[in-house]
Structure 1
Amino acid sequence: MAIDTGDAGAGDVCAGDVCVIGGGVIGLTSTVALAEDGHRVRVLSRDAAGETTSAVAGGLCWPYRIQPYEQAVRWAVRSFHVLAGLARNPEETGARMVTGTMARAHVTAGRPEDTDDGLASWYAAVPGMRPARADELPEGYASGWRARTPLVDMPAHLRYLEGRLTAAGGSIERDEVRSLEAAGRAADVVVNCSGLGAHVLVPDPDVHPVQGQLVIVANPGIEEWYGTADPGATETTYALPQPYGLVLGGTARAHAWSREPDPAVAEGIVARCARRFPELARARILAHRVGLRPARSAVRLEAERLPGGTRCIHNYGHGGAGVTAAWGCADEVVGLVREALEAPEAD
């Protein structure tokens, strides 16, 4: 049953205090935080967690294609510490601590303006992060960072979040939400974590896809993650060792809506990764995947009153940093929901 603007069935949408729209990592993490804060919550999601964009993500905890940087770094640091704790039980949570290198592309040595990427506070906050030595960087890269960061098996992590939500008393319902107002008539507070769906649901024309294609190959023995950090590039290079294979990427094509893998693009991904790791040229391909990152000029994390009077907390537009920002944003969602419930008549 889909939620529409009609009255019929709206009272059945959510019997608890809070309805969270969206079953990806942002929605599930927010719902877990709310349930563990004592709220009665229900997730409404058209897709199962394993079918969301979050399930396709490579899972590296690192701020990427998310604005504004100041808030994004704060959210990322919070998530880093939560995920590092979850990494003590990787089989259950899907989170592991893995060492790797993030190389900076298109950097000219000695020019500070070329190295200021807005993430200085992230580099300072991550325990043990240090500048990469020249011998740790590929040819043509002038700088980079070495760090031990959370690397998350996203399908496993999403299952973990669903189980944790259920244990906290929350529930998940497969349903398509066509109207925030309809959901608001059946809840004290609505939390909108609809990701790319916010383009139509809100509607918010600023929300758009940044298409990411990747290739999963049999891992020939690569144990560290590797990536390049150039947020303006349409082609990226990364290798992320996951339990199900080595994730190779990738692309970042704004306003591209197709979810179909392009064979030529896949060949280019493997070729770029093979320049860093020659053994990948012969690696057996296990799967091709495409995800649509829910991008926006800046994350929308704020409260508003819906036309029917219900408070709505918007939490969407996280681009390529969903898992990286999830726990930090969830903390803010909890605070905004508390404010909404404590002052239900305030404008």
Structure 2
Amino acid sequence: MTVTNIDAIVVGAGVCGLTSALCLARRGLRVRVVARRLPPATDSCAAGAMWGPFLVDHPDAERWAAEGLAIFRGLAAERDTGVTMTRGVEVSRGTVEPHPWLHLTGDLERCAWPGYGSAWSYTTAVVDMPVYSEYLLAALRTEGVRIERRELRSLRELAGLAPVVVNCSGIGARRLAGDTDLTPVRGRVVVVRNPGVDTFFAEESDGPELTYYIPHGDTVVLGSTIERPGLPALPEAAVVRRIRDRCADVEPLLRDAPVIGVRSGYRPVRDRIRLETGTVDDQLVIHNYGHGGGGVTVSWGCGQDAASMVEACLTRLG
């Protein structure tokens, strides 16, 4: 790849990579995206997905989440974004308080749900990831951003091709950034035809299995698994059966809903999101990865901060 007159190269085409690239381009910076996989083959496209806290930690995470929710509300008013504002319920087996972030929705209400110690109703953004990823790609094309499918062995391969590299490689950062603190946590979901479900349901849990269903128009995404490394993997048929049974126990309409497909991806889980400036040899690199199960939720907030960091680097470079 030969690149000239580029301000930044973004590595990765998951939700955080595409969003970061769009934040940069909308500030008038010249951007290229390099990725091993493009939508719909990215891990992000396997997600449920909805705005909310899950396997994500950072002192700025709540601010990033609030910024993202505001943007998703705007996107829900546009056509063909894959984003809708949907009301639903989150439950817990124990008697617990709602996560502080849920107050950001503005309509959080405690409610009752049979068999659960705590339940809250609220409206949040639900995101059809294959559709939303196509929206982001189209927005990048409109901004003149070129996207190259290419597998990198090292970030050193990009040295000198742009003043700044933005590393949004997700679980690929284990190799590209040598980050052994990053854990690939597999999640599998089942997509069914929507039999008439218009609200979401999510059970608070640390796994190894999650129970949730999220409507996306004509389809519903049923979840999920939290498969950490080193544990034996269930066969796909067993995973599908268990997910469908759990969801149908909550919403009987889902019991006979035809299966359209099964999606699988890896959540890039880390003790703390890594959003910081570093160097690889003499190449400036801004790392933006480790978003766990909250990549969609914090993507816009992290993307805006990454764009500000790129601008600061370019100013220092003169």
Fold match (TM-score > 0.5): yes
Gap change, CA 1:256 and 1:95, over 3 Å in 2: farther
Q: Answer yes or no: is the 8 Å Cα contact 1:260–1:290 preserved in 2.
A: no
Q: Give yes or no for the alignment of 1:85 onto 2:85.
A: no
- Look up the match of 1:3: none
Q: In the alignment, which residue of structure 2 is the partner of 1:319?
A: 292
8 Å CA contact retained: 1:30, 1:327: yes
% identity of equivalent residues: 38
Q: Which amino acid aligns with 2:28?
A: G
Alpha carbons 1:210, 1:256 under 8 Å: kept: no
Q: Are residues 125 and 216 of structure 1, via their aligned partners in 2, closer, same or farther at CA, if it must alter by over 3 Å?
A: same
What's the counterpart of residue 344 of structure 1? 317
Partner of 1:104: 92
Instruction: Report what 2:60 is aligned to.
Output: 71
In structure 2, the CA distance between the partners of 1:76 and 1:88, relative to structure 1 (3 Å rule), is same
**Structure 1 residue ranges (4+ consecutive) displaced by more than 3 angstroms after TM superposition:** 256-261
Query: Is 2:115 the counterpart of 1:127?
Result: no
Match of 1:205 in 2: 180
Provide the TM-score with structure 2 as the length reference: 0.95
Whether 1:162 aligns to 2:162 is: no
Confirm or deny: 8 A CA contact 1:192 1:312 kept in the other structure. Answer: yes
CA gap of 1:49–1:62, structure 2 versus 1, over 3 A, is same
C-alpha distance in 2 between matches for 1:160 and 1:254: 31
Q: Where does residue 220 of structure 1 map in the other structure?
A: 195
Is 1:296 matched with 2:270? yes
Q: Does 1:334 align with 2:307?
A: yes
Matched, 1:40 2:30: yes
Query: Which amino acid letter does the alignment assign opposite residue 343 of structure 1?
Result: R
Q: Match of 1:263?
A: 237
Separation in structure 2 between the aligned mates of residue 176 and residue 85 of structure 1, nearest angstrom: 34
Once the two structures are superposed, residues 91-142 of structure 1 have per-residue CA deviations (whole angstroms, 9 ceiling, x without a partner) of 321111111111123x13xxxxxx357x31x1222221222x11xx2x3211
Q: What's 1:62 paired with?
A: 52
The reply to whether residue 194 of structure 1 matches residue 194 of structure 2 is no
Paired residues of 1:216 and 1:285 also in contact (CA < 8 A): yes
Q: Say if 1:13 and 1:183, in contact at 8 Å, map to a contact too.
A: no
5+ long unaligned stretches in structure 1: 1-8, 109-114
What is the alpha-carbon distance in structure 2 between the residues aligned to residue 14 and residue 65 of structure 1?
Answer: 38
Which consecutive residues of structure 2, in runs of 5 or more, have no partner in the other structure? Answer: none
Rounded to whole Å, the distance in 2 between the matches of 1:225 and 1:85 is 20
Post-superposition CA distance 1:199-257 (Å, at most 9, x none) = 11111111121111111112111110111122x22111001111351111111112269
**Residue 242 and residue 256 in structure 1: after superposition, are their counterparts in 2 closer, same or farther (change >3 A)?**
farther
